[in-house]
Structure 1
Amino acid sequence: MKSAGRLAATVAIAGVLSLVACGTDDNITSGASAAAAQGPTPGGLSGTINAAGSSAQANAMAEWKKAFQSSNPGVSVNYQPSGSGAGIQAFIQGTVAFAGSDSALNDEKGEPAQADARCATGKAINLPMVTGPVAVVYNLPGVDGLQLSPKTLAGVFNSEITKWDDPAVKADNPDAQLPSTAIQAFHRSDESGTSDNFTKFLKATSDWPYEAAKAWPAEARGQGAKGSDGIAAAVRGTEGAIGYVELSFAENSQLQKAKVANGSGEFVELTPESAGKTVEAAEIVGSGNDLKLKIDYATDAPGAYPIVLVTYEITCEKGLPAADADLVRSFLTYTASDAGQQALSGLGYAPLPDGLVGKVRAAVDAIS
């Protein structure tokens, strides 16, 4: 039987729908409650949710925070976009109730065991929440619709291709007038799930010689900038620059986005729909309520944009203090709701596929 605190939290999550979106589908995915699909209603929740991590989802968090706090004025959502690596460490150390990360907890680094130890009476779970397509952005006046293959991207970001009129870039863009401008390749200077996913893509689709990791390989050189906003600002302010950021940051900064070749060789424009085709085919490799995904970066699905990341909210299935558990469950119930997911579309993200979001709602409901 649910505790009084959990009942109060459940009442508090029945409908920000009118604040964020209208006309949502009344059909609820199997395994999710009507409240989970609709979002929160004004309730008696109070307290502070401390969280940190992925800067890729910073814009989503800002929107979610505004809507959730509007319906729950007694709650303060404090999210620090410190980067995925820092967020995971803060969660493991117990200073935040959940972490946002563009990569699931890393087995090779022992992160699942460390996170489980923090949870004490339960285990840590990876909850996919935001589909954040990774844009390859560039600043090259006079060149629109740039096309780049994975092999060319690997050469650019490994400092092997240094001019925009290099034969490899010309081969991808036979009809473009490419200048001899020097390429200025920008990467994340902080540990980043975006870097992890971008290098996973390069490793899976090209001759990228380094292991995929949150930390950019020093051997690849290039120029570093902190955070997604730092990369966007650096590319915007540097002629000849190229970098990688989430779609939301590319659009907010009005940067040009390159078309990227998928596994079939098709150059695909980045849109929420083209990125969604890659996420939809992802395999769940976690167990139980741990919904860790395996993405096929070499997908050959027609019209699929291959560089995508899924930001996870990482928290304890069981083991948070009761007050924190109620607040985290309530907030994540909203973010996974129809209203919460629909709010992403106008921010440069893509909603979770229908089949996956139902599993996320069920996992969130199990938090205690």
Structure 2
Amino acid sequence: MKLQRKNRRALALGAFAVSGALALTACGSDDTGNSNGGDSSASAQAGNIKCDDAKGQLLADGSSAQKNAIDTWVKSFTAACSGVQINYKGSGSGAGVTAFTQGQVAFAGSDSALKPEEVTASKSVCKGGQGIDLPMVGGPIAVGFNVPGVDKLVLNAETIAKIFDSKITNWNDAAIKKLNPDAKLPDLKIQAFHRSDESGTTDNFTKYLIAASPANWKYSGGKAWQAKGGQSASGSSGVAQQVKQTSGAISYMELSYAKDGIVPVTVDTGASAPVEATVENATKAIAAAKVVGTGKDLSLELDRATKAEGAYPITLVTYEIVCDKGNKADTLPATKAFLRYIASEDGQGQLSAAGYAPIPDDIIAKVRTTIEGLS
């Protein structure tokens, strides 16, 4: 079904990382900014946040893709709800789902929906209920590169697949030259980096390759990297750091990490013009998503092989995974209050400036209703 495109507010944000006063003591390596406890946007947001009975420490883990968004949200939320401390580790989707099914966290972030066996495992933690997927953050997966003398690069699904499968190994390869006739491509070895940890970003990136270039990507996909060759690093910040410091490097990462010397590839999808990795273009792709989850689960299906004009195909949606029933009594109020805020118009309105895409209107409305029913 066609879904409405979410109207985005232009909100000025301060630094994305959260200060120590907000008790994010285990943020891991994905923090990217400087803390600024006096950020005016956080104060402005605080007036619209409903804390209810939220208090205590809220532990969460999972997707590093949404880490920068979570940090921004936590800053605003804890400015309003001073009795709550939120610790979101951002260890990766695989680690987050494991922590959730083992009852170690109140909620988890994952760039892939729960698998049937993971839903089954969640039932031992969610007494009388099960884990459900709530889409909360969207955005483009940038294919970022660092090639001296090249500030713009067009690739298609075939060349991307061959690069990450070690079939194209030099930047002046004929296939890359054909897509970039005006670029001064050097005689330089390609250094392709992939995630070493189980990652929803890997899952979504390879789903794109499977859908858009099945003849050149013969792997089954999943959170664990399967192709041979290449080099690895942990987390979105890890692969981004490798691309920054390595001449000839290329990797896949969320757009918010593609900066400071990393240039995103423009993707030839077969549309009339190659498509840039932007929030707006990712939103066009996400707006055509379909809800395929059942019951209270709101997992989505994306068209990975889209050729729609201006639709960026390498996108992901990050889900917050929570129990529909059987949440722990001591963390339920804070969990509901925080999820309510990040799904709100104000919460979603912060995403564009942070390099993410808001969830379309029709879907986020269902998310809000589901959150109110958590027990």
TM-score (norm 1): 0.87
Structure 1 counterpart of 2:210, from 203, 220, 237? 203
In structure 2, runs of 5+ residues without a counterpart are 1-39
The yes-or-no answer on 1:97 pairing with 2:106 is yes
- SS, match of residue 150 in structure 2: coil
Structure 1 counterpart of 2:97, from 88, 100, 117? 88
Deviation, structure 1 residue 39:
4.7
CA distance in 1 between partners of 2:67 and 2:369 (Å): 24
Partner of 2:81 in structure 1? 72
Q: Pick closer, same or farther for the CA change 1:291–1:332 going to 2, 3 Å.
A: same
The yes-or-no answer on 1:306 pairing with 2:305 is no
Spell out the pairing of 1:241-256 with structure 2 (5 A cutoff). 241-251=249-259, 253-256=260-263
User: Percent identical across equivalent pairs?
Assistant: 50
Partner of 2:235 in structure 1? 227
CA distance in 2 between partners of 1:21 and 1:289 (Å): 33
Amino acid of the residue matched to residue 222 of structure 1?
G
Spell out the pairing of 1:78-227 with structure 2 (5 A cutoff). 78-107=87-116, 110-206=117-213, 207-217=216-226, 219-227=227-235
Partner of 1:31 in structure 2? none
- SS, match of residue 359 in structure 2: coil
- SS, match of residue 120 in structure 1: coil
Deviation, structure 1 residue 117:
2.8
Structure 2 counterpart of 1:240, from 248, 271, 280? 248
Structure 2 counterpart of 1:356, from 349, 363, 371? 363
Partner of 1:51 in structure 2? 60
CA distance in 2 between partners of 1:254 and 1:289 (Å): 42
Amino acid of the residue matched to residue 238 of structure 1?
T
Deviation, structure 1 residue 20:
4.6
Q: Pick closer, same or farther for the CA change 1:269–1:95 going to 2, 3 Å.
A: same
Kindly indicate which of the two structures has a greater share of residues assigned to helix. Answer: 1
Cα deviation per residue 1:69-90 (whole Å; 9 max; x = unaligned)?
1100000011111100000000
Structure 1 counterpart of 2:352, from 345, 353, 360? 345
- SS, match of residue 323 in structure 1: coil
Deviation, structure 1 residue 325:
1.6
Deviation, structure 1 residue 177:
1.6
In structure 1, runs of 5+ residues without a counterpart are 1-17, 25-37
Deviation, structure 1 residue 326:
1.5
Partner of 2:341 in structure 1? 334
Q: Pick closer, same or farther for the CA change 1:360–1:145 going to 2, 3 Å.
A: same
- SS, match of residue 333 in structure 2: helix
8 Å Cα contact 2:157-2:212 kept in structure 1: yes
Partner of 1:286 in structure 2? 293
- The alignment covers a number of residue pairs equal to 334
Amino acid of the residue matched to residue 186 of structure 1?
F
Cα deviation per residue 1:179-221 (whole Å; 9 max; x = unaligned)?
110000000010000000001001111120111110101x421
Deviation, structure 1 residue 264:
3.5
8 Å Cα contact 1:189-1:226 kept in structure 2: yes
Deviation, structure 1 residue 234:
0.1
CA distance in 1 between partners of 2:255 and 2:156 (Å): 19
- SS, match of residue 119 in structure 2: helix
- SS, match of residue 267 in structure 1: coil
- SS, match of residue 87 in structure 2: strand
CA distance in 1 between partners of 2:191 and 2:222 (Å): 21
CA distance in 2 between partners of 1:254 and 1:333 (Å): 36
Q: Pick closer, same or farther for the CA change 1:315–1:349 going to 2, 3 Å.
A: same
Deviation, structure 1 residue 298:
0.4
Amino acid of the residue matched to residue 149 of structure 1?
N
Amino acid of the residue matched to residue 234 of structure 2?
K
Superposed CA RMSD in Å reads: 1.8
Deviation, structure 1 residue 288:
2.4
CA distance in 2 between partners of 1:224 and 1:103 (Å): 20
CA distance in 1 between partners of 2:222 and 2:233 (Å): 16
Deviation, structure 1 residue 263:
5.0
- SS, match of residue 268 in structure 1: coil
Amino acid of the residue matched to residue 167 of structure 1?
A
CA distance in 2 between partners of 1:249 and 1:45 (Å): 32
